[in-house]
């Protein structure tokens, strides 16, 4: 095989066909002619001396060689985009695009605030927030389609090409509506919550298992769960309309607490601090705009940090 001179245009064409399932759809998405896409693909396959797609009536699927090339192609294109962003920043005209994966709880608090502050400084940058499963977003970080993920870091090891950075550690707290009878007590202990009705997620959720463990360790029966729910708006309404309690990250009800609608009961939940952080590709050199967004996240993390207004013993 001769020396491979592969152009960014060919790599973009490969990715477009893979993303859209065929030449015609890729041409429409790129606002170019179908023959032009076909010629670019054929030229790439000739240079590599291998078929990159199999054709069928239902569309085009990558061959093993195509799969191997696509993963590296996405990373090359991501690095080229980062280089363009860096050159723009050196010219004093920072522009470009950041793709940020968001995990639950950070979607409604930390990430929107950081993005808003970032865009005030870099108004010409486009930010895309992605809300997908953790596993799907990890794959897209590896391929260079997502620049970073922000949220709760998992216990299981990351793939070797990714790395995690902890921003802060976030404990679980017990939330109730303002005016809840328990808030009138001068002192509160875990046993005072034993008779309450709770709004909790299903048993497969970590925070519920943690709360049940804490009750068991204290010799108390499991919390009485009258409603199982995960929707933020549903839980908020149920809390406001009743004397039920819930357990959640303090970040999840940040605005409701600031507005005075919900309050944190001063009952510590030991062992519930979860690492909140970012996941990026290990070998990727972050662009100036990515570094600027991470700086905003770190600044917010310092304000939000693990010891901020926590019940003693958390």
- The DSSP line for 87-121 is HHHHTT---EEEEEEE-TTTTTTHHHHHHHHHHHH
What 3-state class would DSSP assign to 51?
Answer: coil
311 part of a folded domain: no
**CA-to-CA distance for 104 and 11, rounded, in angstroms?**
33
Check if the beta carbon of residue 81 is closer than 8 Å to that of residue 285: no
Question: Has residue 165 got a pLDDT over 50?
Answer: yes
Specify burial of residue 62 (Cβ count, 10 A radius: 0-12, 13-18, 19+).
Answer: middle
Q: For the chain, how far is it from start to end, CA to CA, in angstroms?
A: 63
89 part of a folded domain: no
Q: How confident is the model at residue 274 (pLDDT cuts 50, 70, 90)?
A: confident
58 part of a folded domain: yes
Residue (of 149, 147, 177) closest to 246 by Cα position = 177
Q: Is the pLDDT higher at 148 or at 31?
A: 148
Integer CA distances (angstroms), 61 to 54, 121, 271, in order = 5, 42, 47
In total, how many domains does the chain have?
Answer: 3
Q: How confident is the model at residue 92 (pLDDT cuts 50, 70, 90)?
A: low
E strands in 132-232: 148-152, 162-170, 172-177, 197-200, 224-228
The pTM for the full model equals: 0.65
- Does one domain contain both 250 and 281? no
Residue 280's pLDDT is 95
Q: Provide the residue range defining the domain that includes 58.
A: 8-70
1 part of a folded domain: no
Question: Has residue 3 got a pLDDT over 70?
Answer: no
- Does one domain contain both 153 and 289? yes
The pLDDT tens digits for 183-240 are 999 899 999 999 999 999 999 888 999 999 999 999 999 999 999 998 889 999 999 9
177 part of a folded domain: yes
**CA-to-CA distance for 149 and 163, rounded, in angstroms?**
11
**CA-to-CA distance for 310 and 314, rounded, in angstroms?**
7
- Does one domain contain both 162 and 177? no
Q: How confident is the model at residue 76 (pLDDT cuts 50, 70, 90)?
A: confident
Check if the beta carbon of residue 177 is closer than 8 Å to that of residue 129: no
- Does one domain contain both 279 and 157? yes
- Does one domain contain both 31 and 115? no
* Degrees to nearest 5, angle at CA 126 with 120 and 127: 85
- Does one domain contain both 241 and 184? yes
Residue 312's pLDDT is 36
The pLDDT tens digits for 8-43 are 888 889 888 988 888 888 888 888 898 998 999 998
Percent of the chain with pLDDT over 90: 49
255 part of a folded domain: yes
What mean pLDDT comes out for the span 163-174?
A: 92
295 part of a folded domain: yes
Q: Is the pLDDT higher at 143 or at 81?
A: 143
- Does one domain contain both 236 and 192? yes
Dihedral (CA of 169, 171, 177, 179) sign: negative
- Does one domain contain both 180 and 165? no
The pLDDT tens digits for 232-273 are 899 999 999 999 999 998 888 888 998 999 999 999 999 998
111 part of a folded domain: yes
- Does one domain contain both 294 and 164? yes
- Does one domain contain both 187 and 144? no
CATH number, domain of 39, equals 1.10.10.10
What mean pLDDT comes out for the span 59-80?
A: 85
CATH number, domain of 123, equals 3.40.190.10
Residue (of 294, 290, 285) closest to 125 by Cα position = 290
- Does one domain contain both 165 and 176? no
Helices (H) and strands (E) in the chain, counts: 10, 12
Residue 307's pLDDT is 41
- Does one domain contain both 104 and 229? no
Question: Has residue 7 got a pLDDT over 70?
Answer: yes
Residue 309's pLDDT is 38
- Maximum C-alpha span of the chain: 80
Residue (of 166, 97, 96, 102) closest to 137 by Cα position = 102
Check if the beta carbon of residue 162 is closer than 8 Å to that of residue 278: no
Residue 145's pLDDT is 87
Residue-averaged pLDDT of the chain: 87
Q: How confident is the model at residue 314 (pLDDT cuts 50, 70, 90)?
A: very low
């Amino acid at each position: 095989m001769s020396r491979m001179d592969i152009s960014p245009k060919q790599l973009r064409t490969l990715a477009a066909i893979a993303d859209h399932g065929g030449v015609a759809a890729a041409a429409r998405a790129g606002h170019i002619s179908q023959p032009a896409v076909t010629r670019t693909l054929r030229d790439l396959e000739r240079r590599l001396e291998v078929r990159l797609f199999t054709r069928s009536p239902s569309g085009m699927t990558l061959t093993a060689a195509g799969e191997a090339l696509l993963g590296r192609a996405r990373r090359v294109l991501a690095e080229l985009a980062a280089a363009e962003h860096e050159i723009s920043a050196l010219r004093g005209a920072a522009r470009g695009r950041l793709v940020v994966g968001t995990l639950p709880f950070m979607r409604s608090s930390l990430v929107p605030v950081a993005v808003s502050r970032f865009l005030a400084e870099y108004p010409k940058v486009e930010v895309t927030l992605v809300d997908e499963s953790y596993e799907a977003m990890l794959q897209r970080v590896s391929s260079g389609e997502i620049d970073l993920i922000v949220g709760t870091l998992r216990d299981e090891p990351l793939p070797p090409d990714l790395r995690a950075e902890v921003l802060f550690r976030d404990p679980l707290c017990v939330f109730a509506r303002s005016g809840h009878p328990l808030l009138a007590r001068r002192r509160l202990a875990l046993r005072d919550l034993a008779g309450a009705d709770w709004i909790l997620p299903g048993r497969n959720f970590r925070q519920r298992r943690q709360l049940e463990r804490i009750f068991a360790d204290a010799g108390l029966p499991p919390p009485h769960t009258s409603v199982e729910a995960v929707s933020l708006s549903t839980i908020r309404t149920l809390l406001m309309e009743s004397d039920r309690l819930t357990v959640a990250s303090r970040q999840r009800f940040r605005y409701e607490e600031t507005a005075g609608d919900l309050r944190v009961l001063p009952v510590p939940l030991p062992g519930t601090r979860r690492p909140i952080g970012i996941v990026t590709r290990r070998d990727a050199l972050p662009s100036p705009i990515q570094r600027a967004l991470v700086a905003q996240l770190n600044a917010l993390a310092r304000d939000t940090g693990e010891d901020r207004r926590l019940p003693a013993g958390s």
